[in-house]
Amino acid sequence: METIILAAGKGTRMKSKLPKVLHKVGGKAMLQHVIDAAKAAGSTREVVVIGSGAELVRQEISGVEFVLQEEQLGTGHAVLSAKEKFADSKGTLMVLCGDTPLFTGDLLKKFVDTHENSKSAATVLTAEIPDATGYGRIVREDDNTFKKIVEHKDATYYERQIREVNAGIYCFDVQKLFTALTKVKNENAQGEYYLPDVLTILKNSAEKISTVVVDDYTQTFGINSRAQLAAANKIMRQRKNLELMDSGVTIIDPDSTFVDAEVEVGQDTIIYPNTYLEGKTKIGEDCTIGPSTRLTNVIVGNNVQAQFSYCHDSEICDGVILGPYVHIRPGSKISKNVKIGNFVEVKNSNIGEGSKLPHLQYIGDCDMGSGCNMGCGTITVNYDGKKKFRTTIGDNVFVGCNSNLVAPVTVEDGAYIAAGSTITENVPKNNLAIARSRQTNIEGWTDKRK
Ligand code: UD1
Ligand code: CA
Q: Is the CB of 97 under 6 A from ligand 1?
A: yes
Q: With contact defined as beta carbons under 8 Å apart, do 291 and 285 qualify?
A: no
How much helix, strand and coil, in percent to the nearest 5, is found in the chain?
A: 25, 30, 45
Instruction: Give the Cβ contact number of residue 333 at 10 Å.
Output: 18
Q: Where are the beta strands (DSSP E) in 40-80?
A: 45-50, 65-68
**Active-site annotation holder among 33, 312, 327, 359:** 359
Ligand 1, atom 36, residue with closest C-alpha: 75
Q: With contact defined as beta carbons under 8 Å apart, do 302 and 316 qualify?
A: no
Give the sign of the dihedral formed by CA 215, CA 220, CA 226, CA 229.
Answer: positive
Supply the pLDDT for residue 424: 98
Supply the pLDDT for residue 94: 98
Using CB atoms within 10 Å of the CB of residue 334, give its burial: 0 to 12 exposed, 13 to 18 middle, 19+ buried.
Answer: buried
Q: Is the CB of 7 under 6 A from ligand 1?
A: yes
Instruction: Give the Cβ contact number of residue 208 at 10 Å.
Output: 15
Question: In degrees to the nearest 10, what's the CA dihedral of 369, 374, 377, 380?
Answer: -20
Q: Is the CB of 75 under 6 A from ligand 1?
A: yes
Q: Is the CB of 103 under 6 A from ligand 1?
A: no
Residues facing residue 328 across a β-bridge: 311, 346
Q: Where are the beta strands (DSSP E) in 317-361?
A: 321-322, 326-328, 333-334, 339-340, 344-347, 350-351, 356-357
Q: Is the CB of 224 under 6 A from ligand 1?
A: yes
Ligand 1, atom 10, residue with closest C-alpha: 135
Q: With contact defined as beta carbons under 8 Å apart, do 47 and 5 qualify?
A: yes
Instruction: Give the Cβ contact number of residue 439 at 10 Å.
Output: 5
Supply the pLDDT for residue 336: 98
Which of 16, 68, 97, 195 maximizes ligand 1 atoms within 8 Å of its Cβ, making it the mutation to test the pocket?
Answer: 97
From first to last of its 450 residues, the chain has per-residue pLDDT tens of 999 999 999 889 999 999 999 999 999 999 999 999 999 999 999 999 999 999 999 999 999 999 999 999 999 999 999 999 999 999 999 999 999 999 999 999 999 999 999 999 999 999 999 999 999 999 999 999 999 999 999 999 999 999 999 999 999 999 999 999 999 999 999 999 999 999 999 999 999 999 999 999 999 999 999 999 999 999 999 999 999 999 999 999 999 999 999 999 999 999 999 999 999 999 999 999 999 999 999 999 999 999 999 999 999 999 999 999 999 999 999 999 999 999 999 999 999 999 999 999 999 999 999 999 999 999 999 999 999 999 999 999 999 999 999 999 999 999 999 999 999 999 999 999 999 999 999 999 999 998
pTM for the full predicted model: 0.93
How far apart, in Å, do the first and last CA atoms of the chain sit? 96
Q: With contact defined as beta carbons under 8 Å apart, do 289 and 302 qualify?
A: no
Q: What angle do CA 185, 190, 194 make, to 5 degrees?
A: 40
Atom of ligand 1 nearest to the CA of 51: 22
Q: Is 33 a catalytic residue?
A: no
Supply the pLDDT for residue 296: 98
Supply the pLDDT for residue 8: 96
Give the sign of the dihedral formed by CA 17, CA 21, CA 24, CA 28.
Answer: negative
Name the helix (H) or strand (E) containing 200.
helix 197-204
Atom of ligand 1 nearest to the CA of 190: 8
Supply the pLDDT for residue 440: 96
